[in-house]
Amino acid sequence: MKTEDKDHVKGKQEVLYGLCGACKKVECATLVYLEDGIVTKIEGNPDVPPNYGLLCDRGASEILSLYNPYRLKSPLIRTNPDKGLDVDPKWKKVTWDEALDLVARRLKKVRDKDPRGLVICSGEGNEEGVLRLPFCKTFGTPNLIASRGPLCTIHYASCLVHADFPSSVPDIEHCQYLLTFGGSLGPNIAATGSTRRFAKAIERGMKLVVVDPRSSYEAAKGEWIPIRPGSDFAFLLAMAHVILHEGLRCDMWFMKNRTNAPYLIGPDGNYYRDPDTGKPMMWDPVENRARTFDADFEDITLTGAFTVNGVACRTAFDLVKEEFFKYTPEWAEKICTVPAETIRRIAGEFVENARIGSTIEIDGFTFPFRPASVRTFRAVTNHRGGTYADLTGKIINMLVGNLEVPGGVVGDGVRGPVMLPDKDGVVTPYGEAVPMPFTFPPEHIDCHEFYPNKHTGPHLAAKAILEPEKYHHDYRIEAWMTLGSNPVRKVAQPQVFVEAIKKIPFVVSIAYHMDETAILADVILPDNCALERHLVKVFKTASQNTSKEVCGLHQVYIRQPVPPVFDTMNMDDIFHELAERMGILYGKGGLYDHINQMKDTYMGDDGLSINEENKLELDQKHTLEEISDRRLKSWRHDGRGIDELKRAGAFTHWGLEKEFYNYYYHPENKTRHPFYFQHLKTTGEELRANLEKHNISFPGIDDPDYIFDLYRPIPHWVENSEFRAPEEFDLWVINWRTPYFSNDSTNVLANPWLVEVTDKDPFENGVYMNSGTAQKKNLEEGDTVVVESRYGKAEGILRITELLHPDALGIPGCGGIGTIQSNPVLKRGANWNALLPLDEKTLDPVSAGIECSPRVKVYRKAAKG
């Protein structure tokens, strides 16, 4: 073990500023105590938001991630060409120079042949590095993919409607009525800052309604409405129906002035445009004629049919309202099992609590005040039709006028003048709402051209690697580099990924432990654990929820690394070394040049892109601390750099609370949210035209309408892939993140302290079934059961509970699988991912999201012999 460092001498006691790396958020400030260079304690930093001294069990247990005996301790080279999860790679321990020289030589060969032949697959094991994107740009590969995203496709609707990424969250500082579907507000996953804010909201009297197949920790603090898995979309459509057709009040001012609902739509389903200017038009009831949207209106017509220049037009609002007419609560009840009267009651309570017409003054600025919010998350979006469901949630919020105002729903990314209107006066799409340009043959191995608004596509990449001709690729993947990711375990259909990786000639894994993907590698480059990594990070807006505790917070903070325990290396240092050995570190077009150019991307979106004054010199080598110093000095232009941050721990600045709400930057009618999703329709039309132009089919789909039916401008009911499953598959499996294992950063799944706690927790490491369902199936607590979908199988110990919908089967966390060389504890539990489908017919065509609740059957495992 390496326990000595020049800055950490024997007998010395010290406290380092830290940032917890035990979940993907990496936002909780910590204090790390050392004695003789050994970490003895980790606690929250009481002086720094957003956690203000709080720390979850995962964060406190990071000590054992540092001293984990199952960590990868030195570079390794495979000597056994055979590969498999239970095949001994017969590793050869080598020096860093030997390993890096080999990797650089092989990667240079790939680059010289065709840089597209390299895939870099990142993941939640280490999302802190800032050089992965610049390295990809320098190398020339378009194939930077993320393993973490296809089961959490929550981004498109927020990027389209809010012009914000990654998603949108409720403002629980002011919210009085919060209706949440399919995700956590913080407590379910023990997120410290958001749990703290949640608790304060509940204490002051906010009503919480949780629509979920499972009664979670959060549901226990409000009203739980059990719902059949995969059917949230029906509930949302019915709720919108009640608001639009059963006499509930809508925010007509918002609809007329803050959305495109008054826009006139022609017979082709597109905006009717002024023949002279090309601008969308609205009907002026005072002048009794159509005028361009940017004219001065005394009033605007929201409903009606009109003839303009001989063309029959209707308002977008009328078309949406007409589509939703058929989605009655009685219709929805048959699908989602929630009683019709409950849907009506919830819709009524939501509208009543929105207080339409009320205002609130913050810092001298008057905002609309809408203290009611609908929030949808991954269990809503991860189905065929999931994007429509998410957009329907946005429509419901728009009907009460609660977007980007106090008490309502706000983006949890950029705060500021981001909702700029496009040429049509509508919020300019951002991030994943901006479609990937189509190229043919396709450049991206993850099929981005065919799913132009997708989140991430490791599942599509694996299938394309196995069958490149089917996906129209004219090149082959020659090298794969994994960065803290484990798609074999964490996506779906593990064996598909095993076979895809086995097909690739050269595989490198930058990994913390011998996970299911690492054991398939040809070379392992051992990564530092989170405590050993230098990190400078900007706090962005809060995830899960937001409140005054973080409104206006502008903060950058530091993690000071502890002494490395083994012969490991920081991922960004690895990229440095590889770039130098490949001859692509220096000069124009080199790694440093691309670091200087990073804007609004992996480096730019954290506010730490490098300005002109602090550009890196292209002809000399820079350390990670030097790069951080340049980024810091570019942040607020006050000259403070890394040395000052080491002394302070955090640079914290508070803006005005009013500046948090993006309505402030675009008030009144200065921009319009899309209520009618013209942009989605246009994207679909362009994709169809490109397929026809090149005379190609959509990969894996026989009928193109199966895809383009989900590119309509108005959400409509779409059955997901599981509604027509054979009757023997009579349950829907669900998954949830737990307070101990929200994700597998720092390999918390095998952390001994957490394992000891979870072994005593009845809601961990089981297969959970409603008691009435278990009785009907003659199954008992403690039975070993087989869970079988149409796509795979898993095994686990049955736990019986009243806290699940009778049609649901629950598998929490991310258990199961493991390798011949991993910590044995990783094999415990059922692997939910093995039950999930990868067939294109089961995906959401817009987000490429994987179906997260396949139908399953459950039976007692037969005794051996």
Give whole-number Cα distances, 494 to 84, 126, 212, 232, 576, in Å. Answer: 11, 21, 27, 28, 32
Residues 6+ apart with CB under 8 A from 52: 44, 46, 193, 196, 549
Q: Read off the pLDDT of residues 336-380 as tens digits, 9 standing for 90 and up.
A: 999 999 999 999 999 999 999 999 999 999 999 999 999 999 999
Contact predicate 660/569, CB 8 Å:
no
Cβ atoms within 10 Å of 651's Cβ, excluding its own: 18
Give whole-number Cα distances, 452 to 105, 378, 446, 493, 682, in Å. Answer: 34, 19, 11, 24, 12
Cβ atoms within 10 Å of 318's Cβ, excluding its own: 17
- What pLDDT, on a 0 to 100 scale, did the predictor assign at position 7? 55
Give bridge partners of residue 566 from the DSSP assignment: none
Region of residue 847 (phi > 0: left; psi between -120 and 50: alpha; otherwise: beta):
alpha
- What pLDDT, on a 0 to 100 scale, did the predictor assign at position 765? 85
The phi and psi torsions of 456 (rounded to 5 degrees) equal -130, 160
Give whole-number Cα distances, 230 to 44, 211, 447, 721, in Å. Answer: 38, 12, 25, 10
User: DSSP E strands: which ranges in 150-219?
Assistant: 168-170, 177-181, 207-211
Question: What is the rounded CA–CA span in Å between residue 100 and residue 758?
Answer: 39
Cβ atoms within 10 Å of 588's Cβ, excluding its own: 7
CA angle 36, 39, 41 (to 5 degrees): 125
- What pLDDT, on a 0 to 100 scale, did the predictor assign at position 624? 95
Nearest to 140 by CA among 590, 461, 466, 597: 590
Contact predicate 840/706, CB 8 Å:
no
Q: What percent of the chain has pLDDT over 70?
A: 98
DSSP string, 158-176: HHHHTS-SS-EEEBTTT-S
Question: What is the rounded CA–CA span in Å between residue 240 and residue 172?
Answer: 22
Q: Read off the pLDDT of residues 773-820 as tens digits, 9 standing for 90 and up.
A: 999 999 999 999 999 999 999 999 999 999 999 999 999 988 899 999
- What tokens does 258 get? 């803050």
Kindly tell me the number of DSSP H helices and DSSP E strands found in the chain: 24, 32
**pTM for the whole thing?**
0.96
Region of residue 370 (phi > 0: left; psi between -120 and 50: alpha; otherwise: beta):
beta
Give whole-number Cα distances, 658 to 171, 545, 749, 821, in Å. Answer: 13, 17, 41, 54
- Rg (C-alpha) for the chain, rounded Å, is 27
Give bridge partners of residue 208 from the DSSP assignment: 178
Cβ atoms within 10 Å of 312's Cβ, excluding its own: 13
Residues 6+ apart with CB under 8 A from 577: 96, 100, 104, 569
Residues 6+ apart with CB under 8 A from 408: 170, 171, 175, 370, 371, 372, 373, 397, 400, 401, 402
- What pLDDT, on a 0 to 100 scale, did the predictor assign at position 862? 87
- What pLDDT, on a 0 to 100 scale, did the predictor assign at position 619? 96
The phi and psi torsions of 780 (rounded to 5 degrees) equal -130, 155
Question: What is the rounded CA–CA span in Å between residue 409 and residue 588?
Answer: 44
Q: Read off the pLDDT of residues 826-861 as tens digits, 9 standing for 90 and up.
A: 999 999 999 999 999 999 999 999 999 999 999 999
- What pLDDT, on a 0 to 100 scale, did the predictor assign at position 2? 42
Q: Count Cβ neighbours within 10 Å for each residue of 520-549 and write b for 16 or more, e otherwise.
A: bbbbbbbbbbbbbbbbbbbbbbbbbbbbbb
Tokens 């800052």 found at? 193
Q: Of all helices (H) and strands (E), which one includes residue 860?
A: strand 855-860
Report residues of the chain scoring pLDDT below 50: 1-4, 6, 600-605
- What tokens does 492 get? 């779906």
Give whole-number Cα distances, 401 to 343, 348, 370, 394, 673, in Å. Answer: 20, 15, 7, 10, 10
